């Protein structure tokens, strides 16, 4: 270890002000270079990433072990290795027009994603303005809230027969099921965000006589934006879960249909592969939303 | 130009019990005066300020500014809040401009632009005018809020712990800006400021209104600060009046403290 000598400051500047003694101490021009001790282990970004990767991988190994054990006991359940090889096979023929469970899994996933995005977009177009309305108008909120609370806990699939009766075709019915699914989290989070603008922000609008429109645009919307995006993110998450069930009910395509066809045809290794891919896409959707959130709300970064 | 506050009462429901936060407040803010409201939290100083601003209607009593009853918020009584409360999507200059435009709809474009520039320059923000609030420090945001308040050329300026969230150095600089604007560069005559800081109150005020918790009347004493302006923040502490006021304030606030502990 090298020791560093700190030289005491030699000169104290004379300050012309005779009334008061100088309080500032002199700044020495040549400060000694101090060598900081090395950073503790694991403090670097790379190390933290490596640590996350390692433990994350270990989690998957643990899952695989349990799965393998289970498949040895219950022989009807395909093990992880069989499933992975099926997955590889499915991905190789992802965009095939025909296969053991209908068209290729890539096409099925695209169909499902298309339905989810349609229903989700409809829910956003309806839900965000509606959320802002009830969030900023207390009486309207009091009027709508009981209705929302009544409908919210109902599984969106319960609506399926209604949509099917109205629309006759299964495809648009699934889209409307997603609409209902995505509607509630969007409305509720938007309303909560719009309603939680601090009183002081509204006071600013009152003091400076902002118009209702200006108050909405400059105060309520920016304030509610994080909740709106959170609502959309939740909606997307649930929508992706519900589409599988909706398509299992009666669709002629999509990942839900694929899962059901696999059960009836090629078997559980197809189902398990589908589960893996559904999970991967779910994670990707969520990460995409996080990216949007970071981009739109710079304050979140700090 | 003066505030007349006579027998103002205001109560709030707290745990199903009405609590009288403002109890028979009677006071005036005279022309050209800088008055501070000081007291422990919950003593009603912010409520009184909001009542002066027209944001809270008193249960009883009257508040007038130049004989005109205060019935609602108005740009004539511009406010600066502790949390800055700028519009997050607008640059600093657009923040001031938007406020002036909507507060003073009869002003010409030129007047709005000129006023905006004048006050942003006065608080030293002209160079940073195109930055968004989240891109600048808290001190700069609060300077912008002060510029915004002055730019609407209010008759009275109401400040709710404007420097509370700032570090000591930034606070003292902003206090300087505030006094300069008020004494030299603006039409604004009256200032009422809520504060926790004893030294800040003495440095800035002509009179300090000490407020206290129940059961007595809200205003327990009004202390004049007879120190000539301009005041220097360094040498003011040597002024005998500074010491006297400081001791009186400390005694009053401490007494309130003990009373609360006893209760």
Q: Give the Cα separation of A236 and A287 in Å (integer).
A: 11
Helices (H) and strands (E) in chain A, counts: 12, 0
- Over residues A212-231, the mean pLDDT reads 93
**Residue A166 to residue B77: CA distance in whole angstroms:** 59
Q: What is the pLDDT of residues B208-245, one digit of tens each?
A: 999 988 778 889 899 999 998 888 888 898 999 999 99
Contacts of B55 in chain A (CB under 8 A): 203, 206-207
Q: pLDDT for A81-130, tens place per residue?
A: 989 999 998 888 888 777 776 788 899 999 999 999 999 999 999 999 99
- Compare all CA atoms of chain A with the CA of B76 and give the residue at the minimum distance: A207
In total, the C-beta contacts within 8 angstroms joining chain A to chain B are 62
Q: Do B74 and A207 touch (CB under 8 A)?
A: yes
Question: Do B236 and B248 touch, CB atoms closer than 8 A?
Answer: no
Task: For chain B, list the domains and their CATH numbers.
Answer: 3-198 (3.40.50.300)
Please report residues of B whose CB lies closer than 8 A to that of A193. Answer: none
CATH class label, A79-297: mainly alpha
How close B255 gets to chain A, by Cα (Å)?
Answer: 31
In this complex, do A204 and B85 lie within 8 Å of one another by their Cβ atoms? yes
B137 at interface of A, judged by CB pairs closer than 8 A: no
**DSSP 3-state assignment of A252?**
coil
- Judging contacts by C-beta atoms under 8 Å, the chain B residues touching residue A224 are none
> What's the Cα-to-Cα distance from A107 to each of A172, A227, A261, A282, B259, rounded to whole Å?
18, 33, 15, 16, 76
- Half-sphere exposure (CA, 13 Å, Cβ side) for B239? 19
Q: Predicted ipTM?
A: 0.90
Nearest neighbour of A20 by CB, restricted to B72, B134, B234: B234
- Going by their DSSP bridges, the two strands B3-14 and B17-29 should be labelled as antiparallel
Chain B contact present for A20, CB below 8 A? yes
The predicted model scores a pTM of: 0.80
Residue range A139-150, pLDDT digits in tens? 999 999 999 999
Residue A118 near chain B (CB below 8 Å): no
A222 and B89 within 8 Å at the Cβ level: the answer is yes
Q: With 70 as the cut, is the pLDDT of residue A5 above it?
A: no
Q: Where are the domains of chain A?
A: 79-297
Q: Scanning every residue of chain B, which has its alpha carbon at the shortest distance from the alpha carbon of A197?
A: B85
């Amino acid at each position: 270890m090298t020791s560093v000598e700190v030289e005491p400051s030699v000169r104290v500047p004379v300050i012309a002000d005779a009334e008061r003694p100088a309080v500032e101490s002199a700044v020495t021009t040549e400060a000694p270079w101090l060598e900081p001790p090395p950073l503790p282990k694991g403090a670097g970004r790379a190390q933290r990433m490596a640590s996350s990767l390692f433990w994350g991988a270990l989690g998957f190994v643990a899952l695989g072990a349990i799965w393998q054990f289970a498949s040895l006991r219950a022989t009807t359940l395909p093990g992880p290795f069989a499933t992975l090889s099926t997955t590889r096979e499915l991905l190789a023929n992802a965009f095939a027009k025909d296969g053991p469970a209908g068209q290729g899994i890539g096409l099925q996933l695209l169909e499902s994603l298309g339905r989810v995005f349609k229903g989700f977009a409809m829910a956003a177009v309806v839900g965000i303005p509606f959320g802002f309305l009830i969030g900023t108008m207390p009486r309207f909120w009091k009027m709508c809230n009981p209705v929302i609370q009544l409908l919210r806990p109902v599984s969106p699939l319960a609506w399926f027969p209604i949509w099917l009766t109205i629309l006759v075709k299964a495809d648009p019915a699934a889209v409307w099921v997603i609409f209902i699914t995505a509607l509630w989290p969007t409305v509720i989070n938007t309303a909560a965000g719009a309603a939680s603008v601090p009183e002081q922000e509204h006071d600013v609008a009152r003091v400076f006589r902002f118009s209702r429109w200006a108050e909405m645009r400059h105060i309520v919307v920016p304030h509610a934006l994080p909740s709106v995006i959170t609502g959309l993110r939740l909606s997307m998450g649930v929508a992706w879960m519900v589409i599988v069930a909706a398509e299992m009910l009666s669709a002629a395509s999509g990942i839900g249909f694929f899962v059901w066809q696999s059960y009836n045809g090629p078997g559980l290794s197809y189902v398990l592969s589908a589960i893996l891919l559904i999970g991967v896409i779910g994670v990707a959707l969520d990460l995409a939303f996080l990216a949007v959130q970071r981009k739109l709300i710079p304050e979140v970064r700090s | 130009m003066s505030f007349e506050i006579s027998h103002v009462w205001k109560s709030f429901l707290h745990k199903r019990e009405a609590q009288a936060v403002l109890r028979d407040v009677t006071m005036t803010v005279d022309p050209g005066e800088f008055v501070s409201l000081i007291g422990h939290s919950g003593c009603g100083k912010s409520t009184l300020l909001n009542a002066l601003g027209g944001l809270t209607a008193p249960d009883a009593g009257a508040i007038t500014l130049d004989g005109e009853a205060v019935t609602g918020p108005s740009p004539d009584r511009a406010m600066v809040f502790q949390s800055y409360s700028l519009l997050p999507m607008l640059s600093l200059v657009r923040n001031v401009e938007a406020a002036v435009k909507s507060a003073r709809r009869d002003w010409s474009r030129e007047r709005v632009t000129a006023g905006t520039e004048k006050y942003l320059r006065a608080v030293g923000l002209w160079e940073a005018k195109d930055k968004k609030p989240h891109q600048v420090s808290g001190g700069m945001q609060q300077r912008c809020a002060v510029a915004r308040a002055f730019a609407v050329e209010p008759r009275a300026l109401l400040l709710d712990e404007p420097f509370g969230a700032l570090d000591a150095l930034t606070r003292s600089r902003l206090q300087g800006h505030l006094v300069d604007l008020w004494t030299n560069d603006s039409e604004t005559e009256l200032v009422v400021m809520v504060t926790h800081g004893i030294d800040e109150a003495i440095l800035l005020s002509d009179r300090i209104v000490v407020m206290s918790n129940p059961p007595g009347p809200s205003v327990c004493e009004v202390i004049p600060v007879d120190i000539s302006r301009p005041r220097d923040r360094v040498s003011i502490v040597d002024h005998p009046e500074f010491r006297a006021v400081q001791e009186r304030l400390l005694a009053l606030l401490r007494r309130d403290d003990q009373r609360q502990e006893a209760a």
